[in-house]
Structure 1
Amino acid sequence: MKPTKATLRTGLLVVLLASLCLPATAGSLRERLSQRRAAAGLDAVDTTPATIPPGVRVLRDVPYGGDPAQRMDVYLPAQGTTRAPVIFMVHGGGWARGDKAMRSVVENKVARWVPRGFVLISANYRMLPGTRPIEQARDVARAMAMAQGRAAGWGADRDRFILMGHSAGAHLVGLLAAEPALAYDRGALPWLGTVSLDSAALNVVAIMQGPHLPLYAAAFGDDPAYWRAASPLQQLKARGVPFLAVCSTRRQASCPQARQFATKANGLHMRTQVLGEDLTHRQINEQLGAPGDYTAQVETFLATLDPVVARRLNGRR
């Protein structure tokens, strides 16, 4: 039967409306996916190299093992220093990507703290798929042990290390803080304190028992025994060094897990603080060291760790 003009007009109207709706639907879907990725901490990895300010000297790719990934960069005051406190930084990237020299990892931190007489070390580690998180934590421990052993030659103090990590790196330093034997077994000495920058993997068991993104499955697999062994919350059984958990209030899981960890730690008489910030996952990392209240609050915690750290944060040697 030949279609009427009214039928044709109706069909054209349907097609037109559909074509108008498609971009909005696609845009909405892209927005939801973007929000979900951001909530999970999957910001795009920033591959921009950091700008190093005058007065800072860098030792690149110092080895701590035989694998090409087992390297660290050491940022030193160019004029030299003695018995400097050390901030030992561990990058994130979903246990599978990222790099020690990324701008968001080191630029503001180096600019803020090295001129004040700190040494900042940024370490790479072996990653997925070849190396799983517990062994990655052991890589971090090996790197710290090597750095502590060489500290005097860099004008640093092996007894004044502060362990800091972002995202997956925050999980790794959290695991070492909860189970320091992982570090001591690799030759590391005790450190002053730990700063976890927006980890949403402090309770690996809870993550894996519920709906979770593929990156967690790739990292932690399907063995509940491994989940427990890789989970800072489950491994926390005794008092450790002071712990600061910075978390993004824009993410669903980050601050609740930080508070859960802090509650258990404080019950063990381990001094633990949660600092919620209205920043994205990436901003938690890259804005630390930039002037402002966020950096000031982190420095307030750092100053409680040691009198020398407090003096240098205040610009006094």
Structure 2
Amino acid sequence: MKALVSLLLLVLGWTFNALPAQADRLPDGVRLERNISYGTSRDQRFDVYLPAHPQNAPILFMVHGGGWKRGDKEASGVVDNKVARWVPKGIIFVTVNYRMMPDLEPVYQADDVALALVKVQQMAAGWGGDPDNIILMGHSAGAHLVTLINSAPEIATAKGARLWKGTISLDSGAMNVPAIMNARHFKLYDEAFGTDPALWEAASPFHRVKGATQPLLGICRQRSPDACPQNRALAKKANDLGGHMTVLPMPMSHGDINFELGKPGAYTERVEQFMRDLGWKI
């Protein structure tokens, strides 16, 4: 029953966060550049929200969730509160689409995210941004993808990306894929990860981390039986290998961990402290 309720909350959270963002309600001075291509597919696109006068601006690089098979870079939960909070402070906000199932499995979706990062770094100076001062952020499936890249930076560097400052993971429940697949699990995971144990490990942040990685803040639902334990296990392994991962349990729903971020309050301030620890002046 708890698992069914958890899945229902996840779906409801995604539905609420999937409402289209209101581009005509952008904060004063914020400019939007839509659908910049980083590949040949129509899904390989990102949007850029620019402050009025960016000068060597830091860049927040956001990857949406949706179970690896739905979701969009323009969803209100992905965009609205984050843009309203941070872009007027001089931060460039990039939100990324990527190819999804059934066209592309999650382990290869990470390659799309890496290609988008390369393109953002190439274009950053032209926007007034700093290509070496990027924080990766993702929610749900997007959190899994940015955490996978953080655990295995060679996914991105092999595409030509330079290292980023750190990563913020918003409630991923897929940190240890083999553990999920070898226990009772939702059908969603069968669709995402299939039956090949080698692919499970390739898509598993816990298994991919082999050494010191970029700093990571793992935010998770406090009452979830899966998300926080998986985050803590990854943090222990990463930190034992010389990395720096902090876990932040929150008494919030899966959807609210995404949607509420950027609203005034202790939650947003805690995330901003992580940003300041990486050298951001906010």
TM-score band w.r.t. shorter chain: over 0.9
For structure 1, list consecutive stretches of 5 or more residues without a partner in the other structure.
1-28
Equivalent of residue 53 in structure 1, options 18, 21, 27: 27
**Offset, 1:252:** 1.6
What are the within-5 Å matches in structure 2 for residues 90-169 of structure 1?
90-169=63-142
Rounded Cα–Cα distance in structure 1 between residues aligned with 2:134 and 2:243: 18
Rounded Cα–Cα distance in structure 2 between residues aligned with 1:163 and 1:38: 27
Rounded Cα–Cα distance in structure 2 between residues aligned with 1:42 and 1:206: 25
Alignment match, 2:169:
196
Alignment match, 1:73:
47
**Offset, 1:116:** 0.4
Alignment match, 1:35:
5
1:203-230 Cα deviation digits (max 9, x unpaired)? 1110000011111000000000000011
Q: Which has the larger radius of gyration?
A: 1
For structure 2, list consecutive stretches of 5 or more residues without a partner in the other structure.
none
**Offset, 1:55:** 1.8
Rounded Cα–Cα distance in structure 2 between residues aligned with 1:160 and 1:228: 30
Rounded Cα–Cα distance in structure 2 between residues aligned with 1:260 and 1:231: 12
Match for 1:59: what amino acid? E
Rounded Cα–Cα distance in structure 2 between residues aligned with 1:259 and 1:55: 40
The 1:38/1:254 distance shift into structure 2, 3 A limit, reads farther
For residue 117 of structure 2, give the secondary structure of its aligned residue in structure 1: helix
For residue 151 of structure 1, give the secondary structure of its aligned residue in structure 2: helix
Q: Does 1:174 align with 2:147?
A: yes
Q: Does 1:253 align with 2:223?
A: no
Rounded Cα–Cα distance in structure 1 between residues aligned with 2:238 and 2:212: 7
Q: Does 1:216 align with 2:189?
A: yes
Match for 2:31: what amino acid? R
Rounded Cα–Cα distance in structure 1 between residues aligned with 2:270 and 2:8: 24
1:49-98 Cα deviation digits (max 9, x unpaired)? 22322221100111000000000000001x22110000000000000000
Q: What is the percent sequence identity of the aligned residues?
A: 49
Alignment match, 1:62:
36
Asked whether the 8 Å contact 1:247–1:276 carries over to 2, the reply is yes
TM-score by length of structure 2 reads 0.95
Rounded Cα–Cα distance in structure 2 between residues aligned with 1:48 and 1:199: 21
For residue 142 of structure 2, give the secondary structure of its aligned residue in structure 1: helix
Rounded Cα–Cα distance in structure 1 between residues aligned with 2:108 and 2:202: 11
Q: Quote the RMSD (CA, aligned, Å).
A: 1.4
Asked whether the 8 Å contact 1:65–1:71 carries over to 2, the reply is yes
Equivalent of residue 214 in structure 2, options 233, 241, 251: 241
**Offset, 1:43:** 3.1
For residue 233 of structure 1, give the secondary structure of its aligned residue in structure 2: helix
For residue 273 of structure 1, give the secondary structure of its aligned residue in structure 2: strand
The 1:272/1:106 distance shift into structure 2, 3 A limit, reads same
Equivalent of residue 254 in structure 2, options 232, 257, 281: 281
Match for 1:35: what amino acid? V
